[in-house]
Amino acid sequence: MLCLKNKSNPEWIECVKKNVDSVIIDHAHCEKKAALTGMNLINGHPEKTEIILAMADLVEEEIDHFRSVVNILIERNVRLTEDPGDEYAKKLFSQLRKKQPERFLDHLLVAGIIEARSCERLQILSENLEDEKLKNFYTTLSKSEAGHYVTFVKLAKIYFNEEIVKIRLDELSNYEAEIVKNLTNLPLMHG
Ligand SMILES: [Fe+2]
Ligand SMILES: [Fe+2]
């Protein structure tokens, strides 16, 4: 169902196991930025009713995820620190074409691809971490992010021809796989 062309490097989870708190902090920031992506789409496309309604739901869910992650940090006695930034997402967003409506299509698809990779990474966390509470939490979140991937692709197909969506999703997914292959396995959600 997901568009991913490769799996994450196995070294990533090994690094994460030694730095669980760092990943949780970065994860909180990822949820915050996912909500911002939804708000940006509402802001940029106020006339597109399907977009603003779907994004209003998404923003609500992502903020809910953010709150849950912050509560996990509080339980672990860890404070949320500065956003470490997300080079992976920056590289993907650099692929947005300049002209509309192509830029709008790319925005939806890049957002969808990030959801798909986040889903994969959350699944890896749920399968490999020891803490039962974290495992269950990541299983639930992974399903939610898979749903968000589907939402973005469905929205793209409302505004663009199905074949055009398929071709562009394929191009962007290939690019994303290259980024993931070259990641240096840092204790970050997309590290
Ligand atoms: Fe989320
Ligand atoms: Fe999401």
Q: Which residue has the tokens 């997309």?
A: 190
Report whether the peptide linkage leading into residue 101 is cis, meaning its omega lies within 30 degrees of zero.
Answer: yes
Tokens of 152: 């973005």
Give the closest residue to 188 by CA, choosing from 104, 81, 111: 81
CA 142-154-151 angle, 5° bins: 30
DSSP string, 55-120: HHHHHHHHHHHHHHHHHHHHHTT---------HHHHHHHTT--SSTTHHHHHHHHHHHHHHHHHHH
Mean pLDDT of 56-84: 97
Mean pLDDT of 55-74: 98
CA of 8 to the centre of ligand 1 (A): 19
The pLDDT value recorded for residue 129 is 96
Give the closest residue to 149 by CA, choosing from 34, 68, 67, 44: 34
101-154 confidence digits (pLDDT tens) = 999 999 999 999 999 999 999 999 999 999 999 999 999 999 999 999 999 999
CA of 188 to the centre of ligand 2 (A): 16
CA of 58 to the centre of ligand 1 (A): 8
The CB density around residue 25, as the number of other CB atoms within 10 Å, is 24
Q: What percent of the chain has pLDDT over 90?
A: 98
CA of 149 to the centre of ligand 2 (A): 7
The pLDDT value recorded for residue 1 is 67
CA 27-113-100 angle, 5° bins: 120
Which residues lie at CB < 5 A from ion ligand 2? 34, 115, 145, 148
For the cut 70, the answer to whether the pLDDT of residue 175 exceeds it is: yes
Which residues lie at CB < 5 A from ion ligand 1? 31, 62, 65
CA of 141 to the centre of ligand 1 (A): 7
CA of 51 to the centre of ligand 2 (A): 15
Phi, psi of 16 (to 5 degrees): -60, -40
Domains of the chain: 10-77+84-181 (1.20.1260.10)
With beta carbons less than 8 A apart as the criterion, state whether 32 and 181 touch.
Answer: no
The pLDDT value recorded for residue 141 is 97
The pLDDT value recorded for residue 84 is 86
